């Protein structure tokens, strides 16, 4: 009986860890205007793995953003080689003013 309880407790702990590791549900608003293409790339690509607060709080120049984007692209970010400089330029200018959408429950 005690062994069964331990197994169930370990399983529930594992499930809790898996749930905690999942990215949060964030609904990012579509952006219009001259930065629409880049902003609408950043929203789904970045928010697929982490909070957009992380993007907003990072400060870097163009070379720093290009390196960061290249690193996340290696980890599976859905960006083409042609999109990298577009996103890097946008984030260099606008990351600190980035609009972060509120989290949606569930």
pLDDT digits (tens, 9 = 90+) for 66-94: 999 999 889 888 889 999 998 899 888 88
- State the CATH class of domain 25-106: mainly alpha
pLDDT in tens, 48-68: 888 778 888 888 899 999 999
Alpha-carbon gap, residue 15 to 13, rounded angstroms: 5
Residue ranges of the domains in the chain?
Answer: 25-106
What pTM, to 2 d.p., does this model score? 0.61
């Amino acid at each position: 009986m005690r062994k069964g309880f331990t197994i169930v407790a370990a399983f529930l702990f594992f499930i809790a860890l898996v749930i905690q590791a999942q990215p949060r549900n964030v609904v990012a608003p579509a952006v219009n205007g001259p930065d629409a293409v880049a902003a609408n790339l950043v929203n789904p690509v970045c928010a697929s793995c982490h909070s957009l607060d992380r993007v907003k709080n990072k400060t870097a120049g163009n070379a720093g953003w290009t390196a960061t984007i290249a690193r996340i692209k290696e980890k599976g970010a859905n960006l083409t080689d042609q999109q990298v400089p577009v996103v890097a330029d946008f984030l260099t200018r606008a990351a600190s003013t980035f609009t972060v959408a509120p989290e949606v429950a569930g």
